[in-house]
A and B are shown apart, each in its own frame.
Chain A
Amino acid sequence: MTTIRPFTCDDLFRFNNVNLDPLTETYGLPFYMQYLAHWPEYFQIAESPNGQIMGYIMGKAEGSGEMWHGHVTALTVAPEFRRLGLAAKLMQNLETISEKKQCYFVDLFVRVSNKVAVEMYKKLDYSVYRRVLEYYSGEVDEDAFDMRKALPRDKDKKSIIPLTHPVRPEELD
């Protein structure tokens, strides 16, 4: 049981219980504000009845022609609120918004090592479109899966036909 509502600047002061998790990146303020200014409808937060922040999703719509799509920039749920189906709910909302915006598909990047997340996205009907080599930089660079789900506008599901070869980050469009 959850209250999902638009993310506001004030939430940045209180999302620590979510962001201190090592897989959740804390970005500089410009990053959040850019999303809030440009795609406020895509930035949603989930709050528990006693006022704790449970998780949030950030996304955007971009691309032209048949590449017009919704993108999940960040999706995170605090450890104690996992396995409640919250991520699925937040994803579902993002897909609905993308559908309304006439997008062809939704995509996201995920660390190949993050098996829990990859499995979850598969359950939500996302499939691996391509592998992006060394997309995540760190002590050891890590590959990403670019996962996609076709929306009704892409009737033939052209957008999700997997690429046969991995790509490098600089080859991304």
Chain B
Amino acid sequence: MASRSHVDVNERRLRPIYDSLDNGNNKKAIQEAEKVLKKQKDFQCAKVLKALALLRLNRHEESSVILQEVHAQHPTEDSTLQAMSICYREVHKLDLIADLYQNAFSGKPDNEDILSALFMAHVRLGDYKKQQQTAMQLHKLKPQKNPYYFWAVMSIVMQAHTSPDKKLSEKMYLPLAERMTEKYIKDDNIEAEAEVMLYLIILELLGKWQEAVNLLEGPLGGKFVSEFNLKDIKLAELYSKLENWSKANIIYKRLLQYSPDHWQYWLDYLKSALALIESSDQIENQNGKDENEETADDSVEKILELIEELSTKGCSPDHYNRGPFLARIKLISLLEKKDPEKSQVVGSTLQLLIEHFERFGDRSCCFGDFTLFLDQLTDSQKLQFFNSIKESIPLNGKPKEYALDVKLLQRHLIVLQVERYLGYLDPLPIPDKLTLIHDLIDRYRQGLQLSQDLLITDLQHSDNYLLLAVHLLVDLWRETSKDEYIWQAQVQLEQCIKKSPSNFQAKLILIRLYCTMGVFGPCPSLYDSIEIKHIMNDSLGHIVFNHVARLGHFVAACAMYGTMLRFFTVNHKETTEYLISSYKYGSFSKIYEFVKFRERLQNSLQFASATAERLLLDLIFETNSHSVTEQMIIYMEISPEDDKTNFDELRDNRDYKVMLNWDNPSKFNIEELQEKSFEEEKCWLRVRNYLLRILAAAVLIGQEAGTEAKMNGVTEIEKEPMTQTLQELSAKLENHIDDCVMYKEQYQLPYVLQAPFRTRLCYYLINEHHRVLIEMVEAVLYTHKLQQNNLELNNVEEERIKSAIPKLVAALVNTVEISDNGSTNLSSSVIENLVLCAETFSFTIILAGVCNRFLKPLKIAQTKKLKKKKSPLTELPPTFENFNELLKCLEKGVACLHLACKQINPGYLELDMSKLNLSQPLTDHADDAIYESEMWKKVEKSYEQAAQEISELLHNKLQYLHTLKL
């Protein structure tokens, strides 16, 4: 009793601290904790809660001192342990949680809660071996609790999944897991569905299909109740693997009776039926079948019977299921190769597709159905099909007829989409395409009348007319390189999203087109309006990621990279908790899935790229003196020795299927283009990572030089000197650039709206930005040597500083072609090159800053010597003068870029872009002119913004340069 009241007192004392923490009032929590600690100075939990409050106030140092102290005392009390776990979780030191509970367990070996928490700590770390051991300890402690035993089994399965040695998995881990489960089955100890499920998982991993069938059909099969139809689905899969086609066929037939539209079941059903037909050709029908027993479908006739039976099952009159209908077409294509005669009995694909259009042509998914089969037709059949569906809708007469009911309009759209898919638009001459575009826009506008009962969240029925027109405009642009087509497309899309504010398709295209034209300004609000958040940062972030900094919108870039990175870091912390939940709820099938998912996020290309770009951007944008750079490099914790990105594990999580695409994959295969883009992205990321590591290495050498002098000759032997690392990195960058040559022409590739945009690598390579950096690294190493060996001058190196680097700098400035005629400067490549130059200048200046670190003390020393000797003949070595000249050259370069900024700033040039006749109105509709002038305002503003931001950056760089003079 006494001890109970003691607990109550403690609880009561801690209450105010908990309350303050819950309310987010961390300062108050600290005060409350201190109050308690005055009375009870060894109150562990109060201490830890104080540490937690400190942590949340970002006072990490103080917090960790307290945590270390309590940790060393090996606490065992529950609330203390929990509070400490929270602290460690917040700083993501998951190994300390395991250590904490390991210590607590030693103190209280019979405490189930502590041991269970220790298990979870190992789960967070993904330490499967220790998980297994801990689960077995739990099992020994509470042998009557089944879950603990199966946690151990699952931990073994995870070792099998993750073992690099596949043999070990097959011969040791999985058999062990199997034996352990079988023991429970033999002893009749199985309780939960989850336990049988785990057994099934193990059998499947072992490839023991027959055993798995036995399990499902045996008494334990009755345990599978949660997941819908799971038993049948699994059995059918297993029978297919065992090539027991008749059993598989019977089950798929049963599943189809319940879901006549289930496409995967149809595919599997057909596969099994065809396998049966083949085998029964050889061995005549098996004899002695029970009359009542279900029989498999082993003939085309029987298949057709099922298709007939299910085609209207569960439908209202005059309605049909699409599944059976398409299954018939699928059957033809499957039979064509094996038994062409039979396939003709089933029907003709051409005829069935035409019928399909009659039945389902008023649904937008109809186009997707066609894409499955259209390519199987011959060219003349394709044309026949197209003409037939086109003529089936009454819109071909003269004068022009419009689709004035939604279903007819939908049918018309399908016809147009098929026309595009079949490539019939490609050979049209430009004037015909333009006529078509006008027609589509006209139909779009007419279709807006059908909007009476639409909600703001609905799309206009006729929106896709407009999108088809936009696709055609992009085709024209690709063909002719005339920008006016893109500007016109943008005008139309702007109007479209006014009428259909939730049409994300139109917004996705608009973002893409603006970025293509070098105009980033309107994109953030479009991006926000489609609410890209959470996981979409990874799958869709690319739509702005590749452009925002490329086009000089640095402030927006900071914000966007920040949001992306937060998504990855926060989720990496949070998602571990759901691994734990899966053990708790026995969702064993989800555990490996979650582990893989976490890896996929952690290895995301987007994550790695955003990390590199964010760091580089900070170094470019936030530095105006070398001391700021040095602080920043320390804060960034970049390790020059190793690349943080594991390129072999990198994953491409970008979604390029989201945009509507009516082109045939044989014209543009988006998947292939994405694979190529992924390789290019990796190459560019390597360049960026090398840059970061080079800068970090150089800056660190500069800092060391300052401290080494004080340490007076105490050298570190164990580590490779940083200068060597720097030298190697520079060589690696140079080699890597050689490997990238294939991307030099990337900007000339045909433009595909739905496919990934190129990286900045092509302009980087064309203008050889890496060269000045590599030369600067040599200069850093040389000046470092000068300082170390007290001025051993080398003429070649002096020449590098004196003329080689200045020449490269001047060449870079020339890449920003600025003409006197303002309007021609408004092109996306001008901004892109300007930004690239500004970046390279920033890096060059940082490296010059490192040189200054070596040369400045030297010069001071030299000047002193000179003064002492008072000899008029001795001069200062040429390096100082050469270096100052280099700075002057950089200054001049920055000034040129500054001027270029002004030249792209419509505000500065007092340009009214809408008056430049950069495009003609596409239609004579009054709205076109209004929207066009609005669009030009957006474009102007965007260029202005970019020009201002680049100017500001350059201004910072000038300041930086001024501090470097010797």
Contacts and interface: CB of A to CB of B under 8 A. Distances in A.
Contacts of B326: 1, 49
10 contacts: A1-B262, A3-B262, A13-B539, A21-B457, A23-B457, A29-B534, A30-B574, A36-B590, A41-B228, A52-B368
B259 interface: yes
A34 B581 contact: yes
A79 B230 CA distance: 29
B372 interface: yes
A49 B459 CA distance: 24
A40 B589 contact: yes
B364 A12 contact: no
Contacts of B590: 36-37, 40
Contact of A26 (B263, B372, B531, B594): B531
Given A23-B457, A30-B571, A30-B575, 18 more contacts: A1-B263, A1-B321, A1-B323, A2-B261, A8-B593, A16-B539, A20-B531, A21-B457, A33-B578, A34-B578, A36-B590, A37-B582, A37-B587, A37-B590, A38-B585, A40-B587, A79-B459, A116-B455
A86 B307 CA distance: 20
Looking at B228, B230, B326, the one whose CB has the most chain A CB atoms below 10 A away is B228
Interface in A48-105: 48-52, 54, 79-81, 83-84, 89, 93, 96-97, 100-101
Interface string A119-148: 000000000000000000000000000000
A4 B596 contact: no
Contacts of B578: 30, 33-34, 36-37
7 nearest interchain CB pairs? A9-B597, A33-B578, A37-B581, A20-B504, A1-B323, A1-B322, A80-B364
A33 B502 contact: no
A16 B263 contact: no
Interface stretch (B51-59, B337-345, B383-391, B651-659): B651-659
Interface string B887-905: 0000000000000000000
B752 to A, nearest CB: 18
B372 A49 contact: yes
Contact of B534 (A1, A27, A37, A51): A27
Interface string B654-667: 01011000000000
A127 B368 CA distance: 35
A5 interface: yes
Contacts of B829: none
A3 B256 CA distance: 11
A26 B533 CA distance: 7
Interface in B338-391: 363-365, 368-369, 371-372
Contact of B263 (A2, A30, A44, A100): A2
Interface in A5-21: 5-6, 8-10, 12-14, 16-17, 19-21
Nearest to B598: A9
A9 B593 contact: yes
B226 interface: yes
Contact of A50 (B368, B536, B596): B368
A73 to B, nearest CB: 16
B538 interface: yes
Contact of B226 (A30, A44, A54, A100): A100
B228 A83 contact: no
Contacts of B637: none
Given A16-B655, A36-B587, A79-B459, A97 B262 contact: no
B258 to A, nearest CB: 10
Of the four ranges (under 10, 10 to 19, 20 to 34, 35 or more), the interface on chain A belongs to 35 or more
Contact of B530 (A10, A13, A20): A20
Contacts, number: 148
A88 B587 CA distance: 27
B534 A48 contact: no
Chain A CB count within 10 A is highest, among B263, B322, B574, B582, for B263
Interface string B457-486: 101000000000000000000000000000
A26 B657 CA distance: 18
Interface residues on chain B, size class: 35 or more
A16 B540 contact: yes
B535 A26 contact: yes
A101 B535 CA distance: 32
A49 B534 CA distance: 28
A44 B259 CA distance: 15
Given A14-B657, A16-B539, A9 B596 contact: yes
B594 A13 contact: no
A4 B259 contact: yes
Contacts of B594: 9, 33, 36-37
A109 to B, nearest CB: 17
Most chain A Cβ neighbours within 10 Å, of B578, B596, B653: B578
Interface in B531-576: 531, 533-536, 538-540, 571, 574-575
Nearest to A42: B226
Contacts of B228: 41, 44, 93, 96-97
A13 B227 contact: no
B724 interface: no
Nearest to B601: A29
Most buried by A among B502, B653, B658: B658
Contact of A13 (B455, B538, B587): B538
A79 B502 CA distance: 11
Interface string B312-333: 0000000001110110000000
B916 interface: no
A49 B263 contact: yes
The residue among B261, B326, B571, B596 with the most chain A CB atoms within 10 A of its own CB is B261
Contact of B535 (A4, A12, A52, A84): A12
A29 B226 contact: no
A38 B577 CA distance: 12
Interface string B182-194: 0000000000000
B280 interface: no
B264 interface: yes
Contacts of A80: 364-365
A9 to B, nearest CB: 4
Contacts of B873: none
Contacts of A9: 593-594, 596-597, 600
Contacts of A5: 264
A27 B540 CA distance: 15
A27 B534 CA distance: 7
Interface in B487-537: 502, 504, 530-531, 533-536
A69 to B, nearest CB: 16
Contact of B539 (A14, A28, A49, A52): A14
A34 B576 CA distance: 11
Contact of A22 (B502, B575, B657): B502
Contacts of B266: 1
A93 B325 CA distance: 23
B585 to A, nearest CB: 5
Contacts of A12: 535, 539, 597
B363 A84 contact: yes
A130 to B, nearest CB: 24
Contacts of A113: 455
A158 B844 CA distance: 77
B2 interface: no
A28 B266 CA distance: 35
A61 to B, nearest CB: 9
A100 B368 CA distance: 35
B542 to A, nearest CB: 12
Given A40-B590, A80-B364, A14 B655 contact: yes
B225 interface: yes
A29 B585 contact: no
A19 B530 CA distance: 10
Nearest to B571: A29
B536 A19 contact: yes
Contacts of A13: 535, 538-539, 600, 653, 655
A116 B455 CA distance: 10
B227 A6 contact: yes
Given A20-B530, A79-B459, A29 B574 contact: yes
